[in-house]
Amino acid sequence: MTFTGRTTVITGASSGIGRALAVALAARGARVGVTARRADRLADLAREIRATGGTVETAPADVADRPALLAAVRTLEARLGPADLLIANAGMSYHTGAAEMNVPRVEEIMRVNFLGVVYAVEAVLPGMIERGHGHVVGMSSLAAFKGFPGAAAYCASKAALNAYLEGLRIELRSKGVAVTTVCPGFVNTPIVANNPAMPFLMEPDEAARRILRALRRRPGVFSFPWPLAVLMKLAKWAPDWLVAKKVPTKRGEGEKKN
Ligand SMILES: NC(=O)c1ccc[n+]([C@@H]2O[C@H](COP(=O)([O-])OP(=O)(O)OC[C@H]3O[C@@H](n4cnc5c(N)ncnc54)[C@H](OP(=O)(O)O)[C@@H]3O)[C@@H](O)[C@H]2O)c1
């Protein structure tokens, strides 16, 4: 599959991986519809893409606000045509330690990282099923494979997302709609700004390049970079004492990571 002439909707496109994906897709000839909360950043992105001859439309929304997100996607589809590809990428992270339970934080992480994807899928999936083609992509994380101390809620949100997308993928096999779960390792964006250690760190442009290369074959799951993906799969079976020793949890309770 190529991206030329395809309508793509990307959530969380005002920064980091989503932004890099928007630029890269526009450069490959896709019509790109972008959303996020920060309208000024989306406007900057649109200027940059249009300056190089690309096609882009913006519609700001909070992915945790279901009616607002549905309306934003409707706006983008009205201007660009029905979505062929959704990249539900918006996400956030807070430190969520066990010493002081912060349930509102946990709820917020689940609303954005999990329900925000569900709402985005809701916005495009009926049309894709009706048309008999489409590609739904959810931005998960290698953190989905293991519950890490201090990041329990983030890991849980991504693990929930993996299971949700897996179920969708199997169900949609016969409907012509592909579903891909993308699990990146560390990418140099504001979300990981306070992380103490980031092996195999890569830049957003490089992450976008790898993601788009993989999406052309519409895989069920794309985990990268592969050495870290292997390590994370092994970490699933690591004893708790070893993980507790190796994973630092120095950050303060409730501190925002992005
Ligand atoms: N960076 C990494 O190492 C890494 C690794 C694995 C997975 N990921 C995942 O990759 C995705 C993108 O993250 P990133 O690294 O590119 O971080 P980022 O640069 O902080 O970008 C996060 C994006 O999500 C948007 N967003 C956050 N909350 C939102 C909300 N409530 N409604 C709408 N948009 C919202 C932000 O836009 P606004 O603030 O303008 O709304 C921003 O565009 C996330 O799902 C993250 O979990 C990142």
Of all protein residues, whose CA lies closest to atom 47 belonging to ligand 1? 91
pLDDT single digits (tens) 162-182: 999 999 999 999 999 999 999
Separation of CA 230 and ligand 1 centre (Å): 24
Please report, for residues 34, 37, 128, the alpha-carbon distance to residue 239 in angstroms, rounded to integers and kept in the order given.
42, 40, 43
Q: Which residues line ligand 1 (CB under 6 A)?
A: 11-18, 36-38, 41, 62-64, 89-92, 112, 139, 141, 184, 186-187, 189-192, 258
Rounded to a whole number of angstroms, the CA Rg of the chain reads: 18
Known active-site residue 119: no
What pLDDT is recorded for position 249?
65
Q: Could you give the residue ranges of the DSSP H alpha helices within 110-237?
A: 116-131, 152-172, 204-215, 226-235
pTM over 0.85: yes
Q: At what angle do helices 116-131 and 152-172 cross, to 10 degrees?
A: 10
- Nearest atom in ligand 1 to the alpha carbon of residue 111 is 31
List the structure tokens of 168.
């969708």
Instruction: For residues 117 and 91, give the distance between their C-alpha atoms in angstroms, rounded to a whole number.
Output: 9
Instruction: Supply the pLDDT for residue 257.
Output: 47
Tens of pLDDT, residues 48-78: 999 999 999 999 999 999 999 999 999 999 9
Q: Whose CA is nearest to atom 1 of ligand 1?
A: 187
Residue owning the nearest CA to atom 8 of ligand 1: 141
Tell me, what's the pLDDT at 252?
A: 45
Please tell me the predicted confidence (pLDDT) of residue 247: 77
User: What letter represents residue 172's amino acid?
Assistant: L
Q: What CATH number does the domain located at 7-246 have?
A: 3.40.50.720
- Low-confidence stretches of the chain (pLDDT < 50) are 250, 252-255, 257-258
| CA 82–ligand 1 middle distance (angstroms) | 24
* Alpha carbon distance 94, 106 (integer Å): 8
Give buried/exposed letters for 79-104 (b at 16+ CB in 10 A, else e): ebeebbbbbbbbbbbbbbbeeeeeee
The pLDDT of residue 98: 86
Q: Quote the mean pLDDT of the chain.
A: 94
**Domain coordinates of the chain in residue numbers?**
7-246
The span from the first CA to the last CA of the chain, in angstroms, equals 33
Pairing of strands 85-88, 221-224: unpaired
State how far the Cα of 82 lies from the Cα of 77, in Å rounded to an integer.
5
Q: Which amino acid is at 29?
A: G
Helices (H), the chain: 16-27, 39-51, 66-80, 103-109, 116-131, 152-172, 204-215, 226-235, 240-246
Q: What distance in Å separates the CA atoms of residue 165 and residue 173, rounded to the nearest whole number?
A: 12
CA distance 31 to 40: 20
Angle, vertex CA 250, rays to CA 111 and CA 193, nearest 5: 60
Quick one: the chain helix, strand, coil %, rounded to 5?
Answer: 50, 15, 35
Distance from the alpha carbon of residue 13 to the mean position of ligand 1, in angstroms: 8
